[in-house]
A and B are shown apart, each in its own frame.
Chain A
Amino acid sequence: MSTVPDEVTGWIDRVRYEEQGEFPVERGYIWTSCASVENGNPLFWDDEVAQAITGGPIAPPTMVSVWFRPHHWAPGRTKQALPLQVHFDLKDRLGLPEAVMTDNTIVFHEPVRPGDLLRTSQILRSVSDEKTTKLGTGRFWVIDVEYRNQGGELVAVESYTGFGYRKGEG
């Protein structure tokens, strides 16, 4: 069994990437998301209800990660940006070409509102020893993404558990 490289161990509990969303939270995406799952919650469709309950329109809490996924293409960009860069850094540095997300926890704080411009920080929390599952042999890791609005208020913390592996060794 190989050990985790010191470089990777050094990433644990340190903010590795801070990013700003490429565009402010907007209602078109909120409605597209609600339509995709047929969510009729009046908070998102009826401004009077939103005013009475949440002091104005908000975004569905589970959309929090949507606001920082990069455009598929942008002028002048030569390399596709990756939304959860630490995950891809781990695959690359640990030599694990395949990866899946197994667990995902989201804790919600201040509501996200149209016009908000969110910032994220990615923090690696742990990397496991090598393990073999039915997918192959590799490692589990946990990455936290903290989301804050333009006022610095915490809006959510998302914890991802990934499993990076090599095929055909299971």
Chain B
Amino acid sequence: MSITSTEQTIDAVEEGQHLPDLAYDVTATTVVLGALATRDWRPMHHDKDFAVHRNGTKDIFLNTPNQAAWFERYLTDWTGPKGRIGRMTFRMKGSVFPGDSMVFRGVVTKVETDDTGCGWAEIDINLSVEDRVATECAARVALPTTPDDNPWTRRAERWRP
């Protein structure tokens, strides 16, 4: 497997640049698999009766840790395997239910190289269903400065996420 085919380097990234959209049709399986993969056994992520009657939602819904996994996948689809996530902030505004077609859209808000020579891109991502934003994510991701650079080798004071 090639490790360089999708590799982003920081010099090729610009503020305002859009990442490719990712669309995915959510089913009950998506929600339940995501809950179990994150060891989240709470019933509103697998039991529709509980979700409707106890939480007052229309159905079971994607849990937060699994949404984090979706955002990570969205980012690293774009960066390639050398992209190293330093920080992610999530703000939950709504829920994602079975039957929803969710879309991830991202835009680069800042590009910088820090004092240690590490290249960083800051990216705002929206997870939306139709016109409704379900979750906002702000991410800070280290990218190689050259094809030979590798952010994963950084430790201690050379890693400032």
Contacts and interface: CB of A to CB of B under 8 A. Distances in A.
Interface residues of B, number: 39
Contacts of B39: 29, 66, 69
A49 B69 contact: no
Contact of A63 (B69, B77, B89): B69
Contacts of A107: 86-87, 161
Contact of A102 (B24, B77, B85, B91): B91
Contact of B81 (A34, A42, A65): A42
Contacts of A36: 30, 33-34, 37, 66, 69
B88 A105 contact: yes
A91 to B, nearest CB: 14
A60 interface: yes
A109 B161 contact: yes
A24 to B, nearest CB: 14
A4 B46 CA distance: 35
B68 interface: yes
A43 B3 CA distance: 9
B68 A106 contact: yes
A60 B71 CA distance: 11
Contacts of A65: 38, 65
Nearest to A100: B92
Contacts of B87: 105-108
A138 B82 CA distance: 43
A37 B66 contact: yes
Contact of A39 (B72, B88, B150): B72
Interface string A52-82: 1111000011110110010010000000000
A102 B92 contact: yes
B76 interface: yes
Contacts of B41: 69, 72
Contact of B3 (A53, A61, A69, A109): A53
B12 interface: no
A69 B159 contact: no
Contact of B69 (A60, A69, A108, A109): A60
Given A62-B65, A65-B38, A108 B150 contact: no
A61 B72 contact: yes
Contacts of A53: 3, 81-82, 150, 152
18 contacts: A29-B37, A34-B73, A39-B73, A41-B81, A45-B1, A54-B152, A62-B71, A65-B38, A65-B65, A101-B64, A102-B91, A102-B92, A104-B68, A104-B90, A104-B92, A105-B89, A107-B86, A109-B161
Interface of B: 1, 3, 24, 30, 33-34, 36-41, 64-66, 68-73, 76-77, 81-82, 84-92, 150, 152, 155, 159, 161
